[in-house]
Amino acid sequence: MATRVSRWAQSEEDAGAKARRKREKEEKRKAKEEGAAANQQEQIAEKSGERSPKRQRRRCSSDASADEGAQTLPLVSRGFRPSASVEEYELLNSIEEGSYGKVSRARDKRDGQVVALKKLKVDQSHDGFPITGLREIETLRACSHPHIVGLREVVTGPSLSEFTSSPAPANLTQLVVTLWYRAPELLLGVPSYSFEVDIWSLGCVLAELLTLEPLFQGKNEIDQLSLIFAMLGTPSNESWPGFRSLPNTKALHSVLKNPNPTSRLGAGKFPYLTASGLGLLSAMLALNPADRPTADQVLEHQYFSQDPKAKPKEMFPTFPSKAGQEKRRRRATPQAPVRGAAPAISEHEAVSIFAQRDQEEQGAGFALRMA
C-alpha cells in the first residue's frame, strides 16, 4: 500500500536550500566578526601610534602580447557651446501647428539643406522650459531610424536685449515714469537721462510718506511743471545751465512770464522733518539733475543715522498676504455699553404695563384671554 506524502513535507531540494541558506548566513556572520575585529585592531594601533599598513589590492599584470592587436577607441567630446540662432534658417512655409508646437519648412543658410523647423510653445509661467519639450529633445537625440525624423540641432531665438535694441528709436515710447513722479528734465524733453530721474521719483515718494498725499498732482505735463516751479522755484541759466535750450521749454511762456525765485520746500510744508531730513529731500528734488545725489550718497546721508534709528528688516511687522487670501484677526472686540441711569417709571405706568396679565387664564402651554 502506497503511503501518501503531504504537500507541505520537505523534499530533498528544500533540505538542500535550507542548508545552503544556513551556510551563507554563517559565512556572513564570520565575515562581519572578522571586519569588526580588524577595525578594533586598527583603532588600538592608532591610539598606540603604530598604524598597521593597509592591505594593497593585487594588480593583474597585463599581457603585452594580448594588447598588440588592440586599437584604442577615439573619445568624442562635443563639449559645451552656445546654441545656434534661429536666424541661421530661412523660413519657407508653415506646415502644421499642434498642441506642443508649430512646424515649418526652412532652409539652412549655411549649407542650403531644407529642414523641418519646430517652434515649441512655452507657457508664460514660472516653471521654466516645459518638461514635454525636454523629453521630446532627449527622445529624438536617442533615436536613430530611417522612419523617424532626426534631430539636427537645437536653436534659440533672439534674447531680450537684442529684441529691444532691434527696433528704431522712433518706435520706442519716450514717456517714462508716472506723471506725478516724473523728473522735470523728462517733462522738458531731454534727449538722454540717467539715474537722476529715479532719485527725483524717490524724493517724491519720501515727501508723500511724510504728507500722506502726492507732492505734485498735475493734470498734464504743463500743469505738472507749473506745480513743480511753484513749489521749488523757477530755474534759471545759473541754477540749471542749458535749461532754456531744452525742446519743451518753448511751450512754457505762460509759466516763465512770472518766475518764482524762492522755494516753498521748508519746515512749513514738512513740520515733522528734521533739518537733516529736509536737506536730503531738497537735494533729491533739485531741479538741476547734476545737483542730485547718487543712491549711495543718499544711503550714507546723516539723516539715516539720527534718531529714531532704522528698524532691522528682520524685525519688520508682517502683513496678511492678499494673494493667499489671508485676513488679519481682529483682536479688539466691541465692548458692552456702559450701564446708565434708566428713567424712573411711575406707578401709573407700571400698572398699565402689567394690567393685562390679570385678565389672562394660564393653561398648559397656552394662555386664554378673558373677554
| pLDDT confidence tier of residue 189, bands split at 50, 70 and 90 | confident
Can you tell me which residue has the cell 529714531? 308
C-alpha grid cell, residue 190: 531731454
C-alpha grid cell, residue 8: 507541505
C-alpha grid cell, residue 212: 500722506
Which helix H or strand E contains 107, and what residues bound it? strand 101-108
Confidence at residue 258, expressed as pLDDT on a 0 to 100 scale: 74
| pLDDT confidence tier of residue 326, bands split at 50, 70 and 90 | low
Return the higher-pLDDT residue of 66 and 337.
337
Q: What is the mean pLDDT of residues 59-77?
A: 55
Where is the domain boundary, 305, 332, 364?
A: 305
Has residue 308 got a pLDDT over 90? no
Confidence at residue 13, expressed as pLDDT on a 0 to 100 scale: 77
Confidence at residue 207, expressed as pLDDT on a 0 to 100 scale: 93
C-alpha grid cell, residue 116: 523641418
- Is the pTM higher than 0.75? The answer reads no
Q: What is the mean pLDDT of residues 289-300?
A: 93
| pLDDT confidence tier of residue 278, bands split at 50, 70 and 90 | very high
Where is the domain boundary, 289, 305, 321?
A: 305
- Sheet containing 114-120: which strands, arranged edge to edge? 89-97, 101-108, 114-120
The DSSP symbol for 167 reads: S
Q: Are residues 145 and 183 in the same domain?
A: no
CATH of residue 135's domain is 3.30.200.20
Q: Classify residue 317: in a domain, yes or no.
A: no
List, in sequence order, every residue forming a beta bridge with 224; answer none if it has no partner: none
Confidence at residue 349, expressed as pLDDT on a 0 to 100 scale: 58
Strand bridging mode 84-85 / 155-156: parallel
Q: Classify residue 290: in a domain, yes or no.
A: yes
Sign of CA pseudo-dihedral 246, 248, 254, 259: negative
List, in sequence order, every residue forming a beta bridge with 102; answer none if it has no partner: 97, 119
Q: Are residues 201 and 282 in the same domain?
A: yes
Can you tell me which residue has the cell 526652412? 106
Confidence at residue 333, expressed as pLDDT on a 0 to 100 scale: 65
Q: Classify residue 121: in a domain, yes or no.
A: yes
